[in-house]
Chain A
Amino acid sequence: MSYSNNMVAADNSEKPVAWTTQANNIAHQLLWLIIHVIINIFFFLLGIVDTLESHLISSGVLKKYEAINVEKLHYLAIVVDSEDVQKMKVLQLLQWLADIGVKHVCLYDTEGVLKKSKEIILEKLSFVKLFEEGDENFSDPRVMSLEFASQSDGKDALARAANLLFMKHLKLRSLGDTQEEKIFTEAHMVEALKDVGSSGPEPDLLLVYGPARCHLGFPAWRLRYTEIVHMGPLNSMKYGSLLKAIYNFTLIRQNYGQ
């Protein structure tokens, strides 16, 4: 939808007009480029300030981040862009989370690259175990439970749950139980999702490691009141920024719509 699409090629009698519109176009494009260069410089400087702040936080100079009420964070989700997944960075991140005291983490990437590296991650870190249903209600101080999720736990899982409900509906119909229109409710949906194996708890906080602040298809059913925070690319992850994000989360108060 570029502005220059508005200008149609002129015929001979409109040549002088075409020249001025060309000049107009070029002026607009130049201004657009200048604005974007200024914005990029701004974000670059902002990045430097963030790095500085992160160093101050991790070295303990900024005292307020030392005592974080991490119990408020029941379940944390980390979304990583599939193309950016680096095993070393992920292992480092999990170590940081364990140091902060986070007990339950869900690692998500669209393609399932993290799921494929599940064994390696569980092997390399002694303090993690695979998440099992019901784990979110318990908290072992020595162990962090880890869940792996991908696209197949999102829309795909909803479709599988829908088919489960569909089969249930057809069986009831074939048994002659057709007195009432069976309308499935949210409760039925939750049960069906559990039955197809995609029913983890709702994260309180979702940290996105990628170029943009999108949830990249994290299971929609589990995102209703999740705080979504953008952390930047995984490559440039910083301990101080992580601490700050979790600290800011503990300050939030929700109304849940009421």
Chain B
Amino acid sequence: MFLIRKPCQIHSNQLCAPDNTMEKEGICKFKQLFSYLGCFLRKFMFSILSVGPIPDHIAFIMDGNRRFAKKRHLLEGDGHKAGYESLISILNYCYQLGVKYITVYAFSIENFKRQPEEVQLLMDLMVEKIEDLLRNGSIVDKYGMRLYFVGNLGLLSSTVRAAAEKAMQATAHNSRAVLLICVAYTSSNEMVHAVNQAIRKNEFDSVEEEHIEKVPMIKINDIKRHMYMSVAPDPDIVIRSSGETRLSNFLLWQTAYSPLYSPTALWPEISIWHLIWVVLDFQRKYAYLQKKRKQP
């Protein structure tokens, strides 16, 4: 099932600017043909993959932007910009494949301990890219995407927090696809926040009770309901780029039955082939994972 049914010609026609010289036109036509073929092959590949189960929710840990910048002798900021381009690319592939929920680990609470210049750079990049996403014709429009900013938003500066809240409000009516961006997030912070909220809710409900013993106990579902991530189902797959094999305080509560994949490619180098490989492996393990999830 495809969320986007635009024919491949329209994709490739957008590649050439109207004011081309004769020489450039030749290269342009070649680029168009290449893009058309690529688009067609991708759709064909996805249509075969769709014979089997497609994950509903994929989570990405976008690791390796700084290493990419070092490797290519770029400025550190350019590594993060390349990372953003890679994200848009992956979002396109995932939504075309039929994945509904995508979560990305954009900024951890631990990342605040980095050099202030880098933190500021990332915050500025985030505000700039939020503006881009809210423009007409962006990927948000293309897929009817709803944006969520997940984390302890109170730790962000007022500019970033305002941009995030604006984006969430502006896309609140969308429902075809969902993008959850984890900023100022750690799983331990999320769990403590959920416990605090559950306590407050239970306390509110128990105001009439005089005896502490009669007060209802907090259950696992009460905590689960107050998690930042309760707006989405648990992820089916977690993909961490750069070959690192840990979760780094990301979705620890939600990933009991989510296989973790660690392709060695750095985040800006992640390609459609990594995604296809991960989905194929997920399909091999699907029966086992479904059985595990259904157990009490």
A50 at the interface (CB under 8 A from B): no
Residues of A close to B247: CB separation below 8 A = 223-224, 226, 228
Point out the residue from A28, A40, A184, A257 that lies within 8 Å of B113, measured CB to CB: A257
A39 to B285: give the CA distance in the assembly, Å.
13
B263 at the interface (CB under 8 A from A): no
- B25 nearest CB across to chain A (Å): 36
- Interface 1/0 per residue, B164-201 and A, CB below 8 Å: 00000000000000000000001111011001101100
Q: In the complex the two chains form, is B199's CB within 8 Å of A227's CB?
A: no
Residues of B close to A179: CB separation below 8 A = none
Within 8 A of A (CB), among B239-257: 245-249, 252-253, 255-257
A44 at the interface (CB under 8 A from B): no
Point out the residue from A158, A173, A226 that lies within 8 Å of B246, measured CB to CB: A226
A239 at the interface (CB under 8 A from B): no
Q: In the complex the two chains form, is A257's CB within 8 Å of B288's CB?
A: no
Q: In the complex the two chains form, is B199's CB within 8 Å of A184's CB?
A: yes
Tally of B interface residues using CB under 8 Å:
59
B122 at the interface (CB under 8 A from A): no
Most A C-beta atoms less than 10 A away, residue of B110, B199, B289: B199
B272 at the interface (CB under 8 A from A): no
Q: In the complex the two chains form, is A214's CB within 8 Å of B260's CB?
A: yes
Main secondary structure of the interface of A (DSSP, over half): helix
Among B16-24, B28-36, B45-53, B82-90, the one that faces the other chain is: B45-53
Q: A1-B50, A155-B220, A227-B246 are in contact. Are A212 and B212 (CB under 8 A)?
A: no
A contacts, CB < 8 Å to B: 1-6, 28-29, 31-32, 35-36, 39-40, 110, 154-156, 158-159, 161-163, 165-167, 169-171, 173-174, 183-186, 188-189, 211-218, 220-221, 223-229, 254, 256-258
B contacts, CB < 8 Å to A: 1, 47-54, 98, 108, 110-111, 113-114, 186-189, 191-192, 195-196, 198-199, 202-203, 206, 212, 215, 217-220, 222-223, 245-249, 252-253, 255-261, 280-281, 283-285, 288-289, 292, 295
